[in-house]
Amino acid sequence: MATPEAPPTIMGTEADEAINNTDTTELSTMVTPKAEPVSPASETSASPLPSLHDHDYDGEESDEHFTSAPLNITHFDGAYWNFKPFWEHFQSIHNNRTLSPSDKMYCLQAKCIGAAEQKLGKWKVTDEAYGEFVKLLHYTYGDNDLAVQKLYDSFDKLKPSSDYINHIRLTASQMDHFLKLLEYHGESIDNGMIRQSYMNRFPEWVKDAIPQKARGSIKTIQKAVRVQIGRLKRAATRKPPPQCLFCGKHKYTSDCRNVRSVEERLTLLHQRHRCLNCLGSNHFARDCKKEVICYHCKSNHNTALCRSIEGDYF
C-alpha cells in the first residue's frame, strides 16, 4: 500500500469543501455502482483504429446518432471497409455528365488520402487515366468479402471497456460503427455471437443494467447501453449532495467515525480511483495541483489521512 508521496493538504472546512465538491456519483445513483465519471478517454483508450471518425466519439448521443446516422464517407483513407461507402458517395461525381474525365480524376485523386493515396500513387491527370485509376481502385479495394473480413477482425480486436464513462462511450461508439459498417456490407449482425461479444466489451455493472427483455436483439442492446451512457453522463454533470467518501453514511468525510484506520481509508481511496492528495476524482496524486496541509500535524498530507492522530481523533 503506497502512502501519498508528496502529500499536501488543505485545512478543516476547506478540505471538506474540496472533498465534497468532487463527485461521489458512485454512491448516488443506481446506474453507477462503481463508475468514476468523466476521465480523459484519450489517455486510457487511444483508438488503434484509424478509420473511425472523431464525430463518432463526441457530441451528444441521441438514439438517432447511433441507429440511423448515414455513413458519410467523403474521403477514402485506404481502410477496406470505407471503400464501399466512399464509392457510393462519389457516385454523384462519377455519374456527372457535365464533368470531364479529367475533372473527375482530379477530384477522385484529391479524395484518396492517407494509406489510399500512398498505395495508389500519384497519377498524371488525363481523361484516359480516369478509367484506369477507377479500375485500379476497385481492383485494390473493391472486394466486399475482404472488407467484411477486416471488419470482423477489427471488431474482435476491440479491447473491453474499463469502468470510465468516456471509455464506455468510446467502446460503444466503436462497436456501433463497426456493426453499422458490417450491415452496410450485407452482413447480418443480429446473432447470438455478436450480441454476446458486444455485451462482453462492457464492465459487468453496465452489462447487468441491460434488461433481459432487451437482450434478444442487437439493436435493443445497443439502445439499452446508450440509455445507460446518457444516465451516466447526466449523473456525472449533476452535482451530488456531500457524502462521506469512506462510508457514504453521513455528510462530511472529515467527520467519519465509521472508517477509522488510515490504511483502510487509503484502500478505499485506491479502489475508488481518488486522488490521495486532495481526495478528488478525475486525477491521481501525482497530477494533483492542490497544496494540502494537514490540519492536525501541518505536514503535507490530507487531514483525513493523518497517522499522528489515527484512532485518537478519527
Q: Is 293 in the site for Zn ion (CB under 5 A)?
A: no
Using the contact rule CB under 5 A, the part of the chain among 24-32, 77-85, 195-203, 298-306 near Zn ion is 298-306
Smallest distance from the beta carbon of 71 to Zn ion, in angstroms?
Answer: 42
Interior/surface letters 247-256, b for 16+ CB within 10 angstroms, e for the rest: eeeeebbbeb
List, in order, residues 6 or more apart from 260 with CB less than 8 Å away: 310, 311, 314
Q: Is 306 in the site for Zn ion (CB under 5 A)?
A: yes
Q: Is 280 in the site for Zn ion (CB under 5 A)?
A: yes
Which residue, 235 or 278, is less far from Zn ion as judged by CB?
Answer: 278
Q: Is 258 in the site for Zn ion (CB under 5 A)?
A: yes
Among 177, 195, 273, 296, indicate the residue that binds Zn ion (CB under 5 A).
296
Dist CA 25 CA 84 (whole Å): 44
Say which amino acid occupies 168.
Answer: I
Q: Is 189 in the site for Zn ion (CB under 5 A)?
A: no
Using the contact rule CB under 5 A, the part of the chain among 101-109, 124-132, 162-170, 303-311 near Zn ion is 303-311
Which residue, 136 or 309, is less far from Zn ion as judged by CB?
Answer: 309
Residue 68: CB atoms within 10 Å: 8
Among 244, 266, 292, 293, indicate the residue that binds Zn ion (CB under 5 A).
244
Using the contact rule CB under 5 A, the part of the chain among 11-19, 30-38, 232-240, 300-308 near Zn ion is 300-308
Which residue, 145 or 312, is less far from Zn ion as judged by CB?
Answer: 312
Beta partners for residue 76, in sequence order: 112
Dist CA 169 CA 73 (whole Å): 22
Interface residues with Zn ion (CB under 5 A) are 244, 246-247, 256, 258, 275, 277-278, 280, 288, 294, 296-297, 306
